Amino acid sequence: MNNNQPITPIVRWLCCAAAATLAACEKDLPVYDSADNALNFEMAVDRESGEVVERSYSFVYEADDVVEDTIWLRANTQGFLSDSDRPFRLEQIASGTKRPDAVAGQHYVDFDDAALQQYYVIPAGANTVLFPVVVKRDDSLADSDVSLYFQLRENEHFKQGLPGQRIEMLVISARLSKPADWSDYYMGAYGPVKHRFMIDHTGLRWDDEFVSSFVSGDYGYIRYIMMLLARELKNENAARAKQGLRELAEEDGREVSFAWGAGF
């Protein structure tokens, strides 16, 4: 290529047009200079549908003398970092579910409790925090689950976050409830009878934390556990047949099955 070749009018026009386009694009780019900082909850998401789902906690996994427990959740900041600590506050809102709403002091420790305030802080230079929700075992949980929905109470440090990450949804129970990451693909349709069978025949918790780890873990381990459950169910149903009982089923009549595990 001859570097001394003169620039033709058409080339000069194309260069000018390109420069103008780049200038226009640069002008249209948003400038990240907003002083508004927000806080987003790290939500529980259904692994198969991608939808935000409720978290669940049940005292059924704990000894009878456990009357309080702590659930650790994560929140992430949106906006600039700060060189100083930034406290945040939480507030309960009506869930709108068919379940009764949790009552502060009865089903959970009030978010304004002085002992919790040291944890409701985004440390200087940080953009994430693990914060506690302390749940309480109440006699009413033996008969009915309760909903604890809460959001950020805006203050001088943080505004409400993204629409899909503003409201944390928690179900508190003393009974078995469907884990947030339950996988219909691996485990089939959920049911409390099946859930109890899985706990009793594996010695595993099958709560939110375990199920989340299980379905995202080693494929060989998933296959082994599901094969084990399918075999145990076959033995259980054989024993029930000798007693003149029908196969293991949920209260609504749906038979318990582990079709994926039985396929190996």
Q: What is the pLDDT of residues 84-124, one digit of tens each?
A: 999 999 999 999 999 999 999 999 999 999 999 999 999 99
How far apart CA 50 and CA 218 sit, in angstroms, is 21
Name the band, by pLDDT with cuts 50, 70 and 90, for residue 251. Answer: very high
What 8-state DSSP symbol labels residue 55?
E
Average pLDDT score over the chain: 88
| Alpha-helix residue ranges (DSSP H) falling in the chain | 9-28, 184-187, 192-202, 208-215, 219-242, 259-262
More confident residue, 6 or 56: 56
How far apart CA 239 and CA 227 sit, in angstroms, is 19
